[in-house]
């Protein structure tokens, strides 16, 4: 179970790095354009951690098998990150 939790943390951090192009999720960038990406990366990582935690708890309680837990994780992550993407697109600097 510890490997699943560590894997979830690594996937969430990788998601942050991929979206924001920064390596530290705790210190925001000074550039305004990079700060927007930093915020979106943090929101995506937080949604990944939240959805993964829910899926891991249900998997640990033997409610779901591993494939159902992964499916739940993907669906919840998508549902949780959509409002952040919409907010990111509406706050575009060129609009």
For the chain of 95 residues, list the mean pLDDT of each consecutive stretch of 10. 94 94 89 86 94 94 90 95 87 61
Residue 34 contacts residue 22 (beta carbons within 8 Å): yes
Map out the domains of the chain as residue ranges.
Answer: 2-90
pTM, two decimal places: 0.85
- Burial code of 35-69, b = ≥16 C-beta within 10 A, e = fewer? ebbbbbbbbbbbbbbebbeebbeebeeeebeeeeb
Instruction: Confirm if 56 and 4 have CB atoms less than 8 A apart.
Output: yes
Distance of CA 12 to the CA centre of its chain: 5
């Amino acid at each position: 179970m510890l490997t699943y939790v560590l894997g979830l943390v690594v996937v969430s951090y990788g998601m942050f790095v991929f979206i924001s192009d920064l390596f530290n999720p705790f210190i925001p960038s000074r550039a305004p354009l990079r700060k927007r990406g930093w915020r979106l990366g943090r929101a995506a990582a937080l949604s990944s951690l939240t959805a993964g935690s829910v899926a891991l708890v249900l998997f640990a309680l033997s409610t779901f098998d591993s494939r159902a837990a992964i499916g739940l994780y993907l669906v919840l992550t998508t549902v949780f990150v959509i409002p952040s993407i919409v907010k990111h697109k509406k706050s575009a600097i060129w609009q």
